[in-house]
């Protein structure tokens, strides 16, 4: 097997389709002309080879585990794959791999491949490098779990991950898409009204929710490992959120001490202002990753 990889990329056209078929064990039984042209092999060199003969070392084992798990369970799968050509160059594909089933038995497996965009190549390379690094020091089962966790942390399944990248959209912030930030804004408006009401009713023992414990605070914590939290606005999100909660605490304390109404109103004005700043900074941080 030729293990030399030069790093030169081979491109093929949008209208071209690379096709191969294997038996149940992954030995190639068919390859079309485009396959041979792009990979740089003669037909005779391809037929009978195990499909890993074009495997590129930048491909994580976890991806192939998922591919084989799915296919042997009788299901199809899409995967972004970097392959190695005979001369050591490489080419990227989006593969659709599907078992061909006759009388309830898998008789062969087909793969159809199209080219992918530069954006996908860059995004998927980041994911695959992280997986490869993990696989260097861990058992395949553990790395596979790491892959699933990696996706879960971003709020997506493998199939959604493929779909989203296929639309040339980043996966860095998908988890954020599942969060209803407008609801959190409303939560804080309600929170403010509850405290004003508690003061009016002289319910001084009313507990002011701590920033770590409101629903938004819990979500902020979960999001703290996301790439967009490197944005300078993210620190301000935390800062204004903490301020809103401590101002409400101060409001209740001052009200219990019979503070003048202009002092109380000043606090409420600050709360309103900080809440607005909190959410504008939040959108600022997230929008850069949309």
Ligand X SMILES: Cc1cc2nc3c(=O)[nH]c(=O)nc-3n(C[C@H](O)[C@H](O)[C@H](O)COP(=O)(O)O)c2cc1C
- List residues near ligand X by CB under 6 A: 20, 22, 26, 51-52, 54-55, 59, 61, 64, 68, 71, 81, 83, 97, 109-111
- Smallest distance, ligand X to C-beta of residue 26, A: 4
Name the residue nearer to ligand X (CB basis): 121 or 169. 121
Q: How far is the CB of 124 from ligand X (least distance, A)?
A: 14
Nearer to ligand X, 113 or 231 (CB): 113
Shortest reach from residue 215's CB to ligand X, in Å: 44
Report, in Å, the least distance between residue 169 CB and ligand X.
Answer: 25
**Tokens at residue 80, please?**
């972004």
Instruction: Select from 189, 61, 50, 35 the least CA-distant residue to 134.
Output: 61
Q: For residues 91 and 12, is the Cβ–Cβ distance under 8 A? A: yes
Give me the DSSP letters along the chain.
Answer: --------B----TT--EEEEE-TTSBEEEE-HHHHHHHT--HHHHTT-BGGGGB-TTS-HHHHHHHHHHHHTT--EEEEEEEE-TTS-EEEEEEEEEEEEETTEEEEEEEEEE---HHHHHHHHHHHHHHHHHHHHS-HHHHHHHHHHHHHHTT--HHHHHHHHHTT--STTHHHHTS-HHHHHHHHHHHHHHHHHHHHTT-TTPPPPPTTTSHHHHHHHHHTTSGGGGSHHHHHHHHHHHHHHHHHHHHHHHHHTT--HHHHHHHHHHHHHHHHHHHHHHHHHHHTT-
Least Å from the CB of residue 53 to ligand X: 8
In the complex with ligand X, which residue's Cβ is closer, 63 or 209?
63
Q: How far is the CB of 151 from ligand X (least distance, A)?
A: 20
Q: Which is nearer to ligand X, 109 or 244 (CB)?
A: 109
Q: Nearer Cβ to ligand X, position 110 or 132?
A: 110
The residue among 52 and 87 lying less far from ligand X, judged by its C-beta, is: 52
Least Cβ distance, residue 188 to ligand X (angstroms): 51
Query: Which residue lies nearer to ligand X by CB, 58 or 187?
Result: 58
C-alpha distances in Å from residue 217, one per residue of 187, 240, 270 = 11, 12, 19
């Amino acid at each position: 097997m030729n293990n030399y990889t030069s790093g030169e990329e081979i491109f093929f056209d949008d209208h071209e389709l690379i096709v191969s078929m294997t038996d149940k064990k992954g030995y190639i039984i068919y390859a079309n002309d485009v396959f041979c042209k792009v990979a740089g092999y003669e037909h005779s060199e391809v037929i009978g080879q195990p499909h890993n003969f074009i495997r590129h070392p930048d491909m994580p084992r976890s991806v192939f585990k998922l591919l084989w798990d799915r296919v042997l369970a009788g299901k199809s799968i899409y995967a972004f794959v970097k392959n190695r050509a005979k001369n050591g160059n490489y080419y990227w594909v989006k593969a659709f791999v599907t078992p061909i089933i006759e009388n309830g038995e898998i008789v062969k497996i087909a793969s159809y491949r199209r080219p992918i965009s530069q954006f996908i190549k860059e995004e998927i390379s980041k994911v695959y490098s992280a997986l490869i690094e993990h696989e260097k020091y861990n058992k395949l089962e553990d790395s596979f779990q790491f892959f699933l966790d990696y996706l879960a942390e971003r709020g997506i399944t493998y199939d959604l991950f493929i779909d989203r990248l296929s639309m040339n959209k980043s996966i860095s912030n998908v988890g954020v898409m599942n969060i209803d930030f407008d609801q959190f804004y409303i939560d804080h408006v309600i929170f403010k009204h509850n405290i004003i009401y508690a003061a009016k009713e002289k319910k001084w023992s009313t507990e002011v929710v701590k920033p770590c414990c409101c629903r938004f605070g819990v979500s902020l914590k979960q999001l703290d490992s996301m790439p967009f939290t490197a944005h300078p606005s993210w620190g301000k999100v935390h800062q204004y959120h903490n301020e809103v909660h401590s101002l409400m605490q101060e409001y209740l304390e001052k009200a219990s001490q019979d503070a003048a109404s202009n002092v109380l109103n000043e606090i409420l004005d600050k709360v309103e202002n900080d809440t607005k700043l909190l959410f504008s900074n939040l959108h600022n941080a997230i929008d850069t990753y949309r």
